[in-house]
Amino acid sequence: MPNSDMTDDAENSAGGARNLFEYTVSELSGALKRSVEDQFGYVRVRAELSGVKRPGSGHLYFTLKDDKAVLDGVCWRGVAQRFAFVPEDGLEVICSGKLTTYPARSKYQMVVDHMEPAGAGALMALLEERKKKLAAEGLFDPARKKPIPFLPKVIGVVTSPTGAVIRDILHRLNDRFPRHVIVWPVLVQGEGAADQVAKAIEGFNAIDGSGGVPRPDLLIVARGGGSIEDLWSFNEEVVVRAAAASMIPLISAVGHETDTTLIDYVSDLRAPTPTGAAEKAVPVQEDLRFTVADLGRRLAGLRVAILRDREERLRGLARGLPSPRDILGLAQQRFDDLSERLPRGLVASVQLKTGQLNRLVGGLSAGRLRQLLSFRFNQMEGAANRLAPAYERKLQSLSDRLAASGRMLDSLSYERVLERGYAFVENEQGKPVSRAANLTSGDKVKVHFADGGLDMTVLDGDNPQPKSIQKPDPKPSTRKKVKPDDRQGSLL
């Protein structure tokens, strides 16, 4: 049985619970929200950031933590855009704001309206860590740096359009060497500044010069001096990577001479100030004019000196050469000598050729031609007399050979064999039958004799019944009988 004391306590508790005020969930959540906000109206918390998220709405959600507890935090978009740095996981910060609850999830959180790094030491530690990371990727390698053009035609400047920086750059460019300048206006501090600077560098590189905007030959990224928080946008990875990927040579001029940002390490040239960037971008026009004029004077002097030196050397070489009159005089003397010998040579050559022609003409008389013709005719007649008997003998030899071949062909004919009492048998297909085994009883065959052929039927063991076939009258032979040659022996 149940204990009686326990039963009494349960009845008393149930009776007391029935006497408590009943809250709805919303009423209880609202009461807790008011209690928390009244007790902790405005607080200042030092903690480490964790789980930083920035959705499309622009609000900032994160967790504040230490080694024992965590606290959810939220920063609305308008406040988050005013931060001088980008909140990241692991960064120690000091947040100011109020505590409240989030009834939808039964959680309490801190609504932050101000956030700052927990001292410069924290930012420097983050800067050093990021610097090591980018250096390990090779972005700071001096071999990647591009040479700065000596005199760029177009200069692109990435900076704020309303500050003193752009005025100082333009003023110094006009003093030294006026150039065409294109300004890409950006924020240089606060939320979104890093993205704008990166997009400006990428935008200048995307210009191909085919449109109305010329492609810059040089870029200057500039900003005035400030604290480490003010210059933090130029330490962001997106800016450093955009500067490293730039195909256009880039000069960084961020802050004063003692200020150093990560873009200084990756740029092709670092200037101590924006004014110094303008000085490094172009030479002094007056100095160039003076240098060109001085070089022109030196060139003219050198040209005169070289001509004088060449003239002296030519005169010295000319003294070692013979006189042109002596050289031409010898050639002229040889020409005169040959001119006198030429007519005599022509006369002697004509006389020689005339004698040769006369000798040839003397050998072409009519008597010699008739004698030569008679000689050739006698040669031809003798050859014809010798050729006729030889031709007859050759023809008789060929006739004898042909007659012998005809007699041999006639003696080998199967008809001569049939005349000696032989016969041959053909089957119905007209093919010769050479063996009795190839025939069976009832087969139709044709037997050929010397005077004709008979159709027969094969009887097993009996004589075949011949069927007389009327042999057509033999046609008279048109073959010419060849006279037997007594010189050939009989073949049979």
pLDDT tens-digit map of 423-470:
888 888 888 888 888 888 888 888 888 788 888 888 864 444 444 444
Judge if 295 and 260 occupy the same domain: no
Asked if residues 255 and 148 have their Cβ atoms less than 8 Å apart, the reply is no
Question: What is the arithmetic mean of pLDDT over 31-38?
Answer: 74
Domain that holds residue 61: 24-118
160 lies in some domain: yes
Are 87 and 36 contained in the same domain?
Answer: yes
Cβ–Cβ < 8 Å for 459, 434: no
- The highest-confidence range among 45-49, 228-232, 356-360, 484-488, by mean pLDDT, is 45-49
User: What is the band of 488 on the pLDDT scale with cuts at 50, 70, 90?
Assistant: very low
- pLDDT score of 329: 77
pTM value?
Answer: 0.46
* pLDDT at position 115 over 70: yes
Q: Verify that 91 and 197 share a domain, yes or no.
A: no
Residue 167 belongs to some domain of the structure: yes
In degrees to the nearest 10, what's the CA dihedral of 111, 228, 260, 135? Answer: -30
**C-alpha span between 287 and 293 (Å, rounded):** 10
Q: Which of 301-305, 366-370, 381-385 has the lowest mean pLDDT?
A: 366-370
Work out the percent of the chain whose per-residue pLDDT is above 70: 87
Same-domain status, 102 and 191: no
pLDDT at position 12: 54
Instruction: Look at residue 14 in the predicted model and tell me its pLDDT.
Output: 52
State residue 449's pLDDT score: 86
- Range among 55-69, 176-190, 378-392 rated most confident: 176-190
- Give the model's pLDDT for residue 137: 92
> What pLDDT, on the 0 to 100 scale, is given for residue 136?
92
Q: 119: pLDDT confidence band, cut at 50, 70 and 90?
A: low
Residue 128 lies in a domain: no
Averaged pLDDT score across all residues of the chain: 82
Q: Answer whether residue 484 is part of any domain.
A: no
Mean pLDDT is lowest, of 87-101, 119-133, 264-278, 439-453, for 119-133
Q: What is the pLDDT of residue 13?
A: 54
CA 235/CA 255 separation, integer angstroms = 12
Can you give the pLDDT at residue 277?
93
- pLDDT, residue 122, reads 66
> What is the arrangement of strands in the sheet containing 154-159, beginning at the earlier edge strand?
180-185, 154-159, 218-223, 250-254, 269-270
User: Is 394 domain-assigned?
Assistant: no
Rounded CA separation 53/55 (Å): 6
Do 452 and 471 meet the contact criterion of CB atoms below 8 Å apart?
Answer: yes
Return the pLDDT at 2.
45
Do 175 and 222 lie in one domain? The reply is: yes
pLDDT of residue 89: 79
Mean pLDDT (whole number) for 34-40: 74
Q: How many structural domains is the chain composed of?
A: 4
Q: Is the pLDDT at 487 greater than 50, yes or no?
A: no
**End-of-domain residue from the set 318, 338, 373:** 318
pLDDT confidence of residue 424:
81
For residues 373 and 473, what is the distance between their CA atoms, to the nearest angstrom?
A: 67
**Domain stops at, among 73, 101, 118:** 118
Question: Both 205 and 251 in a single domain?
Answer: yes
Two structure tokens written together for 432: 């010769």
Cβ-Cβ contacts under 8 Å for 474 (sequence gap 6 or more): none
Question: Does a structural domain hold residue 166?
Answer: yes
Answer yes or no: do 195 and 210 share one domain: yes
pLDDT of 492 reads: 32
CATH assignment of the domain containing 265? 3.40.50.261
- Pair 230, 298 in one domain: no
156 and 264 both lie in a single domain: yes
For 303, the token pair is 């040209």
66 and 184 share one domain: no
What average pLDDT does the segment 45-64 reach?
Answer: 87
Least confident range of 97-101, 311-315, 320-324: 320-324
* Beta pairing class for 107-117 and 70-75: parallel
Confidence class of residue 5 from pLDDT cuts 50, 70 and 90?
A: low
In this structure, of 149-163, 310-324, 355-369, 468-482, the range with the lowest mean pLDDT score is: 468-482
Please indicate, yes or no, if residue 377 is contained in any of the structural domains. no
- Rounded distance between C-alpha atoms, residue 112 and residue 79, angstroms: 8
The verdict on 236 and 299 lying in the same domain is: no
**Residue found by looking up tokens 């048998």 in the block:** 425
Is residue 32, in this structure, part of any structural domain at all? yes
192 and 233: one domain?
yes
Q: ∠436-442-445 over CA atoms, to 5°?
A: 60
55-86 pLDDT, tens per residue? 888 889 998 988 788 888 999 888 888 887 77
pLDDT recorded at residue 158: 95
Confidence of residue 489 (pLDDT cuts 50, 70, 90): very low
